[in-house]
Amino acid sequence: WFLNMNGIAHEIINAYLDTLAAQYPDLVQLETIGNSYEGRELKVIQISTNRAASKPAIFIDAGIHAREWLAPAQALYIIKELVENVENRRLLEKVDWHILPVMNPDGYEYTHTDERFWRKTRSQQDGCFGTDGNRNFDYHWGEIGASNLSCSIVFMGPYPFSEKETSSVRDYILNRQKEIKLYLTFHTYGNALLYPWGFTSDLPYDDSELRGLAEKVNAAIVEAGGNSYEIGTSTNVLGAAAGGSDDWAKGVAGIELSYTIELPAGGSGGFNPSPTEISGHVQQTFEGVVVYGEYIANKF
Ligand code: 0X9
Ligand code: ZN
């Protein structure tokens, strides 16, 4: 089923996580970090060997934007490789991995049942439905590139962290603020490796480290046969948009290495890569994730 991850139901994804936890009790733990607006479980899979040791951690989420189906597929492929492929065990020895494969399950389900290109959560707002989760984080919230109109696709929400999906991720990260050294959030599409800031064109103090690491990641993806990524701050590559999870992770949670990965386009509208495209992209991008893992293992 991994060959056709497009459109896998959220229920099946969570069932897969349950299966892994049952099959690999020494490697895998699951934590339900909250529930979505409509009540779906937000399950983080924690993957680790020698759990007792204090190790640096990597937090990964995907699917904050409902229609970006390749992103949850990418997260699932990373999970599968880290857990089921024994050749990757070395990636677990010095780093703990925390992965939330579908951050916005209500929206994700809605893109299967009702409206393929839905982006936001599904919370009832004053007027329309849904908040853009990636405008809802409390760092320079609403300053630029976001809307205060509930019908906008970049609605910032009535207040910061108004959404259960974003506040659950906030709490999970803040509870592990010391361990988490890298934050990755998967989106589509655009082939870009973006880092803070998204609210200003000013460069972060550690621009050269952030850029240098992204260049190494890109080189590994290209080496694996993937397209080359554009690298830079999200403001300078895409334009300013405040309230993103990447900016909050760095600016508030203090996770200095924070990236938004815009995966490649595919199919109609860019959000529909074919099964063969999916399997190519997820495998190539995994090689970049390996570089991130090795960097964290060596640095901390
Ligand atoms: O606009 C977004 O939220 C992301 N692009 S997307 O096409 N997937 O919607 C980019 C987010 C970059 N980061 C920040 N603006 N903070
Ligand atoms: Zn997105």
Which domains are present in the chain? 2-299 (3.40.630.10)
Instruction: Tell me how far the alpha carbon of residue 35 lies from the centroid of ligand 1, in angstroms.
Output: 23
Q: CB of 240 closer than 6 A to ligand 1?
A: no
Query: Which ligand has the minimum distance to the alpha carbon of residue 135?
Result: 1
Strands 192-195 and 180-188: unpaired
**Ligand of minimum distance to the alpha carbon of 134:** 1
ipTM of model: 0.99
Q: What is the pLDDT of residue 3?
A: 54
The pLDDT assigned to 98 comes to 98
Query: What pLDDT, on the 0 to 100 scale, is given for residue 50?
Result: 81
Q: 54 CA to middle of ligand 2, Å?
A: 32
List average pLDDT for each run of 10 residues in the chain, which is 300 residues long: 68 94 97 98 96 90 97 97 97 97 97 95 97 99 98 98 99 97 98 98 98 98 98 98 99 98 93 92 98 98
Nearest CA to 131 out of 208, 224, 36 is that of 36
pLDDT confidence of residue 53: 80
Place of tokens 């479980």: 41
pLDDT value for 9: 85
User: Which pLDDT score is estimated for 52?
Assistant: 75
Helix (H) or strand (E) holding 249: helix 245-251
pTM score: 0.98
Nearest partner of 295 among 235, 194, 219, judged by Cα: 219
Q: What are the φ/ψ torsions at residue 69 (nearest 5 degrees)?
A: -65, -25
